Each structure stands twice: as C-alpha cells, then as structure tokens.
C-alpha cells in the first residue's frame, strides 16, 4: 500500500504538502480503536473483499424505514471514523431526517498519516483499491437497510474530500450527490509528486478540461450526474481557495450549466452560497465560500435547527455544513416529491429477466394517467399500465429501477423504492494477470515504463511482473481496470 514515509521523491516540498494536510493531530492508529457502541457507531467486518484495506463503520437511527437514504462520510488525515462521527453533526440529522451513515476509515497501513489516497490511481479510480472498498460498503449497507438506491450520497473532509470527488467521478451510477469539504477536484493529481501543486496552486485548466477528468473516469457514462456541494474557506492555506473555484468549474462543466451563478445568498458564519441550476431550475452545483475559515470542516455547536457538531482540531465554528449539505441533497424532504400529490407506487417487482431485458410490474395508483420508469436514475419509459419491459441491456448486469405515478396534468408524484434486476447471461469477461502478461495477451499496452489498458487507456502502473490487476472487457477490445469489481 502507498506510504508517505519520507524517502527519495517524497522528501522536501512534496512531503511538506501532505504533512500540511495533516499536521496538528496526534491520535493512535484508527484501526486500533474499538467500535464506539455508546454512540451507536458499529464496526462491520464482512462487507466484501475490501481491496483498499479500509475499515467500515456505520450508524443508523432506531426504526430506520425501508427506502431511507444513505450517506457515506469520509474523515480527514490523522482522523478516524469515530472522530468524524462525534464532531461532524451527521448523527443529528440521521436521527432527525431518517437515514443511515457509513464511515469508511483508513489507517497508517495504507498511508503513514492515515489519509485517503486521493492522488493515487491504484486507489481512487473505478474498481480499484480504496474506491472499490467504499462502494462495497455502500452495497453492504444498502442491502442491510433496504436503502433507496437513488438517494446515496458521499461527503468528505480534506483528503477525504479529494477521495469524495474521485468517487463521484468514478461512480456517478452509485452516488446521487456529494459534498467536497476543503478538498480537491476529481483527478487533480495522479501521483504523490503532483499533490502539492493541487493543494497550493491554480492548475490553469479550463472548465472543459476539468470536466474531462470526470468524464474520463467512467468512459461512456451519459448521466445522470451527481449534484455537488463544495465547501471552501477563504483563509485556507492547506488547500488553497482556488480549489473551490476549480471544483465549481469542473462540475458545472459536467452538468453543462456554465460558471455564472443562478443565484447567491448570505448564510450564517460569513458564508456565501452560490448555486448553479440545471435546465429544470434545480441547483446542480453549490459553492459555499466561508469567509475567514482556515482548513477544516465547518460546524456550529448548539441546539438550533441549523446548528450541529462540536469543535476540535479541523472542526471549526462557523456554520453547520452538514445541515446545508443535507438540505441541498434533499435529505429533509420525501424523495422526489415532484409537483403532484400522487403517492409512490407500491409493490414494484421484477417479474422476469433475459440477457438483454428486464420486466417490471407494480400496483396501480388511483388518479394516475401514466407512470415514469427510471433505470439507475434515468427515465427509460412512460407506460400507461402497471408493467414495463426494459430492453437493450447488458448481459449479467445489475440495474436499479424506481417508478413514479403521473397525473393527467403531467405532474409527477413520489418515486417508489428501488428494486434490482440482474440480467441473465454472462457478464463481461474479466482477466487477472500481471501487467506484463496483460500486454503480451493484447489486453494492454506499455509506454514510458507504464502499462495502460487497451480501450480505456487507464494507467495500470509499472510494466513488470510484480504488478497485478484485473481487466474487464466491457466491449470487444475495450478493457477497464476492475480490481475488486468482477
């Protein structure tokens, strides 16, 4: 696993940059801590193959209903899951609004300062390392709690924020939204040597170039994209404020909405919120600029509706970012209420699958003129009856479906809970081998001492027999790195 032990190229300015993200906390190795049962935080040890060597902790309020949302919250360097749970304020809103929280936790075994490795393609890209472990946690928790798959969100602080941006880019089919707190744009750095440049300076990229870093993280994905909240302090000397602007440029370009704010408002703690709306007038991106805040997570201790958390190292008394992030995601409201009053259809069931299709049925909703069927968050049909067959699907693949009723005026009601349909047939074939043997087999190529997957051109690391990866052939001759995802 990646270590930040100071040697060779890691010495001097690069190490200083990473240390700057982490200085000030002196905690024991996070994995040495037992689960904090007193506050309801529990450790889960059997969530998957865990290619990124992470620990999983979770919190769920008593009586959590089916189809509740799920939030993934990622700590900063030298912090832990229990530390983030105790200070960030997410427990308050999980109890109040009704959702579960998963806290991934890294350790000094992965990174000497217990940072998530947001700058390492072996850890932060689709199907690989720590990113794959986080998605395994989502799958485990979603099955455990009956989560609404259209309401899974991820947030993180500092290095956890950098990993959050990478997760949103690599898994837009998993996360409906995210929040990057004092973090970095997706794929800003792809090596430790480049990390300090991202932290401290302007990368001088256009919005389109930033957007391409997201689009290239999951080639061929056409949306929907996650809704992204960005939190940045104006006095942050660890992650320069320009990172907030670059994140804004990146995600507005992905959404195709431009970089001129649709609206601004003043919030507590010297905070200015700028929103960037999609074509329906709903905010797709929000930039929260906190005047005078240095590096950390904005909290606001107190009993008020819009207050939360407790202060500490890197937990700063300005504004309750968790409250405003949760409202931006819509956690305080029923899912997809739409403009109409029609309830969500009940009884959504998968009635059959083939290698290219899936059939669904549900109970009729009184007053409905038709229904909207969503596959992985995208509308794919509008039948007038209570059944639908989706076609043109990939073999051996899982798809998530929800349904909403539409009244005669065209107003859409609430969406149903999600069901999963897995098509029959063989899934895309996977191959596990050393980089050298992938190249000799024609699944990858090498250049400048590094290996790249054919088709996706993903960097697989050094061209030698000591590095092993799994490649998935998603279409003839097109391979993607799929470590832990096959």
Sequence-distant (6+) residues with CB within 8 A of 464 are 434, 435, 436
Mean pLDDT of the chain: 87
Q: What percent of the chain has pLDDT over 70?
A: 90
Catalytic residue check, 158: yes
CA–CA–CA angle 18, 19, 25 (5° rounding): 130
Q: Which of 231, 233, 236 is nearest to 247 (CA)?
A: 231
Tell me, yes or no, if the two domains 8-329 and 349-422 fold the same way.
Answer: no
Q: Span 420-436, mean pLDDT?
A: 84
Given the residues 88, 158, 217, 321, the one annotated as active site: 158
Is the predicted pLDDT of residue 65 greater than 60, yes or no?
A: yes
Q: What is the CATH number of domain 8-329?
A: 3.40.50.1820
Question: What mean pLDDT comes out for the span 201-207?
Answer: 94
Q: Strands, DSSP E only, in 39-158? A: 42-44, 55-59, 70-74, 100-105, 152-157
State the average pLDDT over residues 400-418. Answer: 85
What confidence tier does 32 reach under pLDDT thresholds 50, 70, 90?
very low
pLDDT at 198: 95
Q: What's residue 335's pLDDT?
A: 60
Reported as a single tens digit per residue, the pLDDT across 320-332 is 999 999 999 999 8
User: In the chain, what's the furthest Cα-to-Cα distance?
Assistant: 70
The residue among 26 and 418 whose pLDDT is bigger is 418
Give the span between the Cα atoms of 351 and 453, in whole angstroms.
38
Q: Which among 14-23, 237-246, 365-374 has the top mean pLDDT? A: 237-246
Per-domain residue ranges of the chain: 8-329, 349-422, 430-481
Task: Report pLDDT for 14.
Answer: 35
Q: How much is the pLDDT for 340?
A: 52
Give 278's pLDDT tier (boundaries 50, 70, 90).
Answer: confident
Question: What's the CATH fold of domain 349-422?
Answer: Immunoglobulin-like (2.60.40)
- Res. 422: pLDDT tops 80: yes
Closest to 45 measured CA to CA, from 143, 140, 146, 168:
140
Predicted confidence at residue 477, as pLDDT, reads: 83
337: pLDDT confidence band, cut at 50, 70 and 90? very low
Mean pLDDT of 172-197: 96
Q: Whose CA is closest to 100, among 29, 38, 164, 44?
A: 44
The whole-angstrom separation of Cα 358 and Cα 310 is 48
CA 320/CA 297 separation, integer angstroms:
9
């Amino acid at each position: 696993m990646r270590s930040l032990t100071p040697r060779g190229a890691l010495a001097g300015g690069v190490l200083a940059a990473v240390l700057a993200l982490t200085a000030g906390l002196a905690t024991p190795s996070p994995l040495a801590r037992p689960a904090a049962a007193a506050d309801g935080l529990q450790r889960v040890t059997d969530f998957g193959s865990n290619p990124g060597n992470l620990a999983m902790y979770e919190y769920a309020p008593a009586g959590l209903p089916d189809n509740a949302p799920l939030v993934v919250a990622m700590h900063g360097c030298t912090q832990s899951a229990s530390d983030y749970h105790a200070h960030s304020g997410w427990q308050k809103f999980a109890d109040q609004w009704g959702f579960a929280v998963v806290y991934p936790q890294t350790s000094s075994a992965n990174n000497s300062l217990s940072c998530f490795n947001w700058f390492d393609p072996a850890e932060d890209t689709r199907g690989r390392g720590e990113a794959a472990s986080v998605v395994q946690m989502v799958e485990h928790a979603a099955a455990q709690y009956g989560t609404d798959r259209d309401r899974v969100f991820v947030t993180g602080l500092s290095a956890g924020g950098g990993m959050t941006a990478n997760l949103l880019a690599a898994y837009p089919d998993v996360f409906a939204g995210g929040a990057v707190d004092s973090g970095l744009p997706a794929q800003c750095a792809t090596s430790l040597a480049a990390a300090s440049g991202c932290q401290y300076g302007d990368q001088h990229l256009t919005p389109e170039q930033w957007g391409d870093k997201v689009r290239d993280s999951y080639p061929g994905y056409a949306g929907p994209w996650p809704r992204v909240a960005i939190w940045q302090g104006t006095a942050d000397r660890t992650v320069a404020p320009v990172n907030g602007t670059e994140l804004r440029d990146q995600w507005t370009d992905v959404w195709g909405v431009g970089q001129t704010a649709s609206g601004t408002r003043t919030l507590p703690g010297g905070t200015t919120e700028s929103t960037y709306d999609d074509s329906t007038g709903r905010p797709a991106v929000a930039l929260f600029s906190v005047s005078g805040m240095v590096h950390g997570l904005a909290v606001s201790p107190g009993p008020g509706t819009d207050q939360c958390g407790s202060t500490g190292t890197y937990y700063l008394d300005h504004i309750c970012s968790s409250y405003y992030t949760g409202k931006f995601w819509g956690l305080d409201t029923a899912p997809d209420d739409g403009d109409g009053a029609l309830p969500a259809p009940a009884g959504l069931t998968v009635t059959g699958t083939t290698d290219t299709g899936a059939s669904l049925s549900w109970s009729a909703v009184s007053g409905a003129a038709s229904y909207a069927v969503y596959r992985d968050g995208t509308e794919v049909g509008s039948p007038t009856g209570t059944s639908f067959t989706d076609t043109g699907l990939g073999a051996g693949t899982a798809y998530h479906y929800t349904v909403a009723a539409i009244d005669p005026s065209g107003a859409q009601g609430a969406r149903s809970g999600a069901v999963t349909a897995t098509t029959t047939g063989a899934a895309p074939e996977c191959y596990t081998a050393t980089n050298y043997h992938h190249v000799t087999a024609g699944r990858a190529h090498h250049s400048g001492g590094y290996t790249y997957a054919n088709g996706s051109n993903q960097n697989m690391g050094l061209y030698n027999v000591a590095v092993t990866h799994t490649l998935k052939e998603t279409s003839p001759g097109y391979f993607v790195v799929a470590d832990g995802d096959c």
